[in-house]
Structure formats: C-alpha cells, structure tokens
C-alpha cells in the first residue's frame, strides 16, 4: 500500500511513529455533491462506484445503493481483495478505461494528486473526475440526490432524527468504525490498550441501547445502523483476531449479535457481504501485522439464525 505525491505513487505503510504509535486517518480529498447546487446533475448511468468488498467504508455505499434502488443507475467495479505494493488493483482490468491500479483512476481525475488512494470512489464518467471519495458523504447523497430518478423516498437520515443520528455516528465512528483500526494498527502497547478499551466501552454502550430499542436511533432504521453494521459483520471473523480486538466477540453480546443478524437478513443485504474478500484482504494485505499471510478458516457466528429482535417495536 502507499500514497500519491504530486501524481507519483510511493509505496509506504502508515506512519504511526510520528504520531506516538497511533494510527491517524487522512481526510478524503474529493468532496462534491450531486444534484441541486452542484456541477454534477443526478443522471442515470453517469456515475460509477469503485469499491472493495472487503472495505467497511465502501461497504456502506454499496448497501445504500442497494437500499435506495440505485443499482440500475450507478454501476459498480470491485477491486481485487489484496492491497499490495501498488495499493488496490483490478483483476481483470477496470472496465471503463482498462486500468490496472486504483491509483491510476486518481491521477486520471487529477494528474498531480497528493494523498491516500482509497475506496470507495464515486466517479463521473462525463467529466472523468472523482465526485466524492468520502463514504459518509456518498451515503448521504445516495440517500436523497437520486430520488427523482428512482422514485424511492425511503429516508435513512430523516429530519426529525438528524441530531440523534449525528450524535450516535460521532461515537460509533471514532470508537468503533475507526476504533478497530486504531486498535489494530497501534504500534505501542499503551496506545493499543487505550484504543481497545475505548472500543469495548463503546460496544458495551451500543449493547445497552440495543437491549431496549430495535435500532440505534429508536424504532426507525437509519444510516447510523448501516454504518455500524459494516464493522460488526467483520468483527468476529477479522477484527477479533487480526486487529487484536479480543476482549469479547460480537457473538458474546446478546443484543448486538441479534441486531447483526437482523441487519444481515434485511432484503438484499447478505449479497453485499463477501467473507472471502473480507478475510483475504485483511489477513493477506497487512503483512506488517500478519507476515505469514495465513488466512484463518473461521467466519464467526451463523448470521442466518433467527435474529430474535421481533419483540422490540419498529416503525413501519
Ligand atoms: N474516509 C474514507 C476512508 C476510506 C478508507 O480508508 N478505505 C480504505 C480501505 S478499507 C483504503 O482504501 N485504504 C487505502 C489506504 O489507506 O491507502 C471513507 O470513509 O470513504
């Protein structure tokens, strides 16, 4: 893995040492919207989504594309699960321009780009540019920008719940979604321990909430749930072992594990989950953590078992 510096690829691992052994995530570089007030109109077939099926951030966008009926309007290309010296790559070549490496897409958009080369990417085929590479923002624009095209008005960020959803997202992002990375990428014992404790305190908090309510923001499923889901589904098979998040498994939390099963069984969602890509990516790509590249066999709990959440109220 590496990053682009003025359009040139440099193969380098995350620099944790200059941060006292801690992993610090870099902000995404392309942050535009689609639709009203933007230079990108909402048009069918114009945009393309580049994802890795292993990546929890990309996974959110794939889920929202599915939930909002965007599949006929926005195509998808999936990277190879291994992220090696050249970063993410395509095998076979990426279909729009025949590219082999994901970083070539970034330099096609901006020849002198400096920054990390990440998935997901929302690509505009007309201007050949990256509209946005921040999953949280892609999620929001999928939630509403294409409603006129799809006629799907399901709202995962409803006005009345925004404050609550933002509040939940804030903690879930820092302590859980990114918390597993901070735990797994730490290169000092004390930094690891602090990240791990923060992570499990947040999981305990979420478990408590989900014991008495169906979803994170109450009776209405929101983006906050889908943002948590993509970390939960990777937790027992990967983060518990590979990232040393091994104080408890999700399976050990009664509410969280039932909730994970309910979300997994939601129409269309299971087909967005690919455990082969998930396990191959982490265990094979992070050779500083797993130099033998052995990929373990287990995949965690059976997500098709009954979720046992039906007693909790839900808003139809
Ligand atoms: N802020 C970005 C983060 C995305 C991200 O870090 N993706 C990872 C894969 S899980 C990646 O592409 N990493 C490559 C790298 O950091 O060089 C988002 O949420 O969209």
Tell me how crowded residue 75 is: count the other CB atoms within 10 A of its CB.
Answer: 17
pLDDT of residue 158: 98
Query: Within 10 A of 202 (CB to CB), how many other CB atoms are there?
Result: 18
Q: Are residues 16 and 103 in the same domain?
A: yes
pLDDT for res 240: 98
The Å distance, Cα 306 to ligand 1 centre, comes to 33
From the CA of 60, give the closest atom in ligand 1: 19
Structural contact between residues 60 and 143, judged by C-beta atoms closer than 8 angstroms: no
Pairing of strands 121-124, 8-11: unpaired
Is 80 exceeded by the pLDDT of residue 167? yes
Residue nearest to atom 19 of ligand 1 (CA): 135
The rounded Å distance from CA 41 to ligand 1 centre is 26
Instruction: Quote the pLDDT of residue 291.
Output: 96
Q: Is the CB of 116 under 6 A from ligand 1?
A: yes
Q: What is the rounded average pLDDT of the residues 119-133?
A: 98
pLDDT at res. 18? 83
pLDDT of residue 160: 97
Is residue 292 in some structural domain?
no
In ligand 1, which atom is closest to the CA atom of 118? 12
Q: How confident is the model at residue 231 (pLDDT cuts 50, 70, 90)?
A: very high
Say if residues 237 and 278 touch (Cβ distance below 8 Å).
Answer: yes
- Specify the CATH number for the domain of residue 243: 1.20.1050.10
For residues 215 and 260, state if they share a domain.
yes
Closest CA to ligand 1's atom 8? 118
Please state, in angstroms and rounded to a whole number, the distance separating the CA atoms of residues 151 and 24: 40
Element (H, E) at 102: helix 102-109
Ligand 1 pocket member 77 (CB < 6 A): no
Are residues 87 and 204 both part of a single domain?
A: no
Model pLDDT, residue 36? 87
Q: Within this chain, do residues 136 and 170 fall inside the same structural domain, yes or no? A: no
- Alpha carbons 252 and 258: distance in angstroms, whole number: 10
Q: Residue 26's pLDDT is what?
A: 83
Given 128, 150, 172, the domain boundary residue is 150
54 and 81 Cβ atoms separated by less than 8 Å: yes
Range of the domain at 79: 2-150
Cα of 119 vs centre of ligand 1, distance in Å, is 5
Categorize the per-residue pLDDT at 15 as very low, low, confident or very high, splitting at 50, 70 and 90: confident
pLDDT for the residue 315: 83
Q: Which of 57, 101, 184, 238 to mutate to test the pocket of ligand 1 (most atoms within 8 A of CB)?
A: 57
| Residue 1 clears pLDDT 80, i.e. is over it | no
**CA angle, 75 then 76 then 79, to 5°:** 160
- Residue 133 C-alpha to ligand 1 middle, in angstroms? 9
* Residue 25 scores a pLDDT above 90: no
pLDDT band at 163 (very low <50, low <70, confident <90, very high): very high
Domain contains 78: yes
What integer best gives the mean pLDDT of the chain?
96
Number of domains in the chain: 2
Asked if residue 100 belongs to a domain, the reply is: yes
Give residue-wise pLDDT tens across range 38-91. Answer: 999 999 999 999 999 999 999 999 999 999 999 999 999 999 999 999 999 999
Asked if residue 167 and residue 253 are part of one domain, the reply reads: yes
Among residues 126, 150, 174, the one where a domain terminates is 150
- The answer as to whether 307 is a domain residue is no
**Residues forming beta bridges with residue 218, ordered by sequence position:** 215
Contact by Cβ (8 Å): 221, 158:
no
96 neighbors 48 (Cβ within 8 angstroms): yes
The percent of residues in the chain predicted with pLDDT above 70, rounded, is 100
Q: Do residues 164 and 146 share a domain?
A: no
CATH code (residue 95): 3.40.30.10
> Does ligand 1 have an atom closer than 6 angstroms to the CB of 9?
no
Ligand 1 pocket, residue 1 CB under 6 Å: yes
Which is catalytic among the residues 14, 40, 50, 55?
55
Contact by Cβ (8 Å): 220, 161: yes
Q: Is residue 284 part of a domain?
A: no
pLDDT of the residue at 16: 86
Q: Is the pLDDT of residue 198 over 90?
A: yes
Give catalytic status of residue 196 as yes or no: no
Integer distance in angstroms from the first to the last C-alpha of the chain?
A: 44
Which ligand 1 atom is at minimum distance from the Cα of 134? Answer: 20
Boundary (domain end) residue, out of 119, 150, 181: 150
Q: Are residues 116 and 186 in the same domain?
A: no
pLDDT of residue 178: 98
How far is the centre of ligand 1, averaged over its atoms, from the C-alpha of 94 (Å)?
19
Which atom of ligand 1 sits closest to the CA of residue 119? 12
Tell me, yes or no, if 181 is annotated catalytic: yes
Whether pLDDT at 142 is above 90: yes
């Amino acid at each position: 893995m590496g990053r682009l510096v003025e359009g040139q690829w440099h193969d380098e691992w995350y620099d944790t040492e200059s941060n006292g052994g801690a992993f610090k995530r870099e902000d995404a570089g392309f942050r535009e919207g689609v639709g009203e007030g933007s230079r990108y109109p909402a048009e069918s077939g114009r945009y393309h989504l580049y994802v890795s099926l292993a990546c929890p951030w990309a996974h959110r966008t794939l889920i929202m594309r599915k939930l909002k009926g965007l599949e006929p309007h926005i195509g998808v290309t999936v990277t190879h699960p291994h992220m090696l010296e050249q970063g993410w790559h395509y095998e076979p070549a990426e279909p729009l321009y025949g590219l082999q490496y994901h970083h070539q897409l970034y330099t096609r958009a901006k020849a002198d780009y400096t920054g990390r080369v990440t998935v997901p990417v929302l690509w505009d085929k007309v201007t050949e540019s990256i509209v946005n590479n921040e999953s949280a923002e892609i999620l929001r624009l999928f939630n509403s920008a294409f409603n006129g095209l799809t006629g799907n008005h399901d709202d995962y960020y409803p006005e009345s719940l925004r404050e609550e959803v933002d509040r939940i997202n804030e903690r879930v992002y820092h302590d859980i979604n990114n918390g597993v990375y901070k735990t797994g990428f730490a290169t000092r014992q004390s930094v690891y321990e602090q990240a791990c404790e923060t992570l499990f305190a947040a999981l305990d908090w979420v478990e408590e909430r989900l014991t008495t309510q169906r979803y994170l923001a109450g009776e209405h499923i929101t983006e906050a749930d889908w943002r948590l889901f993509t970390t939960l589904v990777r937790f027992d098979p990967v983060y518990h072992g590979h990232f040393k998040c091994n104080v408890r498994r999700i399976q050990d939390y009664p509410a969280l594990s039932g909730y994970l099963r309910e979300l997994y069984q939601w129409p269309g969602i299971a087909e967005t989950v690919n455990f082969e890509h998930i396990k191959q990516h982490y265990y094979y790509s992070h050779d500083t953590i797993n130099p033998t590249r052995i990929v373990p066999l287990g995949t965690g709990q059976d997500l098709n078992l009954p979720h046992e959440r039906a007693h909790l109220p839900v808003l139809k």
